[in-house]
Amino acid sequence: MAKLLTQKLEQLQNAFYLSAEQVREIAEKLQTEMTGGLSGQSSLQMLPTFMQLPAGSETGTFLAVDFGGTNVRLQLVELLGQGQYAVKKQHSCRLKDPSGRYDFTARETTGEALFDFLAGQIASFMEDACAASLGLTFSFPCRQLAANKAVLLHWTKEFQTSAVIGREIMSLLSAALAGRGLAWLQPAALINDTTGTLLTAAYSNPHADIGSICGTGHNTCYFEAKAPAMIINMEAGNFKHFPLTKYDRLLDSNSRQPGAQLLEKAVAGRYLGEICRLILLDMVEQGLLFRGKIPALLRQQQTIDTSELALLAADDTPSLLHIDRWLAAKHNIYPTTLTDRQVLKKIALTVILRSARLVGATYIGILQQLDPGLQRPHVIGLDGSLFEKMPGYLAKVQELLQEIFKDKAERISPVLTGSGSGIGAAIAAAVCADK
């Protein structure tokens, strides 16, 4: 590798790598922000959810509606008690059609149209399904008014749908359901996806006290045992006390809400590919990659998604064949040198590693806050595409916990809850029904 390129890569890795010392500092800042957030002065909103943890004995069949960042997933969930459940039926649809026929995340769409689309999907789903009530997971910052009512505070994840901010979400869904003849479907609970993930983990494990998502967006919640005891939705994606690179600043200034959700923009699936694109573009412009020729797609925002990032990071073939094919097929760059491809892989790994260490640093802060000295076991329920699909991502978070907590890391179990964000809506509906 030419000297300049090696230097550039080193600079990049230094800017993105978080040492153990930096991780400790970030964790401490997070603790300060957690305390500040509970009294209203922080980048963390620390939203009360009024939701308790389940006993694991709740039973019944519920419709779970999971309104995430990219998809809406409907599930008919039967809670069997003893921490067991069965998904009887499920259906998923995208909020933005990849071929451009519709986009319910755009400014041109109204809340009414969005919820009518959702009600239409629910109406077809319920044709051969039986449930009397529904739990809704709505993965955005909301002020909770009651267990089944919450007002959207603001959009995140680049959503722009009009006439939803400031409105009560369950009423929007209920009105749309009534319009489709489904007024009988009882709206039992409305929760954040992190709450759903924690509820799912806690349904089968009494030590679960943290729930976290790293998918299109990022956020974490935990169970606050001090009175009034309840799950707190931290809105951790808005945390901002960590080192930003020039690429983070650029991505932020190109985003729809500059200055907001800085942690989310550094760790979540909606943004990781874009960070990579900005780094690549910079390197090509400096003549360090692809013989200095800028592929057209690299000039356009959001042209690398997280699954492509996973492909770059996971290519273990000696000649980086998968990366070669991806460059040829998607970017029309052919032939490429092995060095080009190695650089691409390094960039992907660097961006992914920082994401995992940043997310891990926030868990360290939360654990230190909940249980200084780590006296008891903790289960962290995890959901989202980074945990589920990014090769090695969860292992990197676990390695960091070991690096910082040493032997005591054994007391912490990060567990994948597999669609926990949605299943949790059914559990929440059951918890509310049992009250």
For ligand BGC, the binding residues (CB under 6 A) are 69, 139-141, 156-157, 192-194, 213, 215, 217-219, 235, 237, 264
Choose between 54 and 420: whose C-beta lies nearer to ligand BGC.
420
Choose between 168 and 324: whose C-beta lies nearer to ligand BGC.
168
Tell me the closest approach of the beta carbon of residue 139 to ligand BGC, in angstroms. 4
Tell me the closest approach of the beta carbon of residue 217 to ligand BGC, in angstroms. 2
Tell me the closest approach of the beta carbon of residue 215 to ligand BGC, in angstroms. 6
Choose between 104 and 140: whose C-beta lies nearer to ligand BGC.
140
Residue whose Cβ sits closest to ligand BGC: 217
The residue among 285, 276, 217, 227 whose CA lies nearest residue 251 is 276
Q: Cβ neighbours of residue 193 under 8 Å, at least 6 residues apart?
A: 66, 68, 137, 139, 213, 219, 383, 421, 424
Find the helix or strand (DSSP H, E) in which 379 lies.
Answer: strand 378-383
Distance between the two ends of the chain, CA-based, in angstroms? 65
What's the token pair of residue 172? 């929007």
Find the helix or strand (DSSP H, E) in which 88 lies.
Answer: strand 84-94
The residue among 422, 426, 430 whose CA lies nearest residue 67 is 422
Tell me the closest approach of the beta carbon of residue 329 to ligand BGC, in angstroms. 30
Q: Cβ neighbours of residue 205 under 8 Å, at least 6 residues apart?
A: 83, 379, 415
Choose between 73 and 157: whose C-beta lies nearer to ligand BGC.
157
Choose between 223 and 290: whose C-beta lies nearer to ligand BGC.
223
Tell me the closest approach of the beta carbon of residue 17 to ligand BGC, in angstroms. 25
Tell me the closest approach of the beta carbon of residue 344 to ligand BGC, in angstroms. 28
Q: What are phi and psi of 363, to 5 degrees?
A: -65, -40
Contact between residue 370 and residue 404 where contact means Cβ atoms under 8 Å apart? no
Instruction: Report d(CA 32, CA 286) in Å as an integer.
Output: 41
Instruction: Report d(CA 210, CA 224) in Å as an integer.
Output: 10
Instruction: Report d(CA 257, CA 93) in Å as an integer.
Output: 26
Choose between 93 and 314: whose C-beta lies nearer to ligand BGC.
93
The residue among 113, 91, 112, 90 whose CA lies nearest residue 103 is 113
Choose between 83 and 217: whose C-beta lies nearer to ligand BGC.
217
Choose between 149 and 331: whose C-beta lies nearer to ligand BGC.
149
Contact between residue 16 and residue 357 where contact means Cβ atoms under 8 Å apart? no
Choose between 257 and 402: whose C-beta lies nearer to ligand BGC.
257
Tell me the closest approach of the beta carbon of residue 261 to ligand BGC, in angstroms. 6
Tell me the closest approach of the beta carbon of residue 398 to ligand BGC, in angstroms. 21
Tell me the closest approach of the beta carbon of residue 82 to ligand BGC, in angstroms. 28
Choose between 61 and 255: whose C-beta lies nearer to ligand BGC.
255
Check whether the bond before 228 is cis (ω within 30° of 0). Answer: yes
Find the helix or strand (DSSP H, E) in which 78 lies.
Answer: strand 71-81
Instruction: Report d(CA 112, CA 126) in Å as an integer.
Output: 20
Tell me the closest approach of the beta carbon of residue 140 to ligand BGC, in angstroms. 5
In sequence order, the β-bridge partners of residue 379 are 208, 413
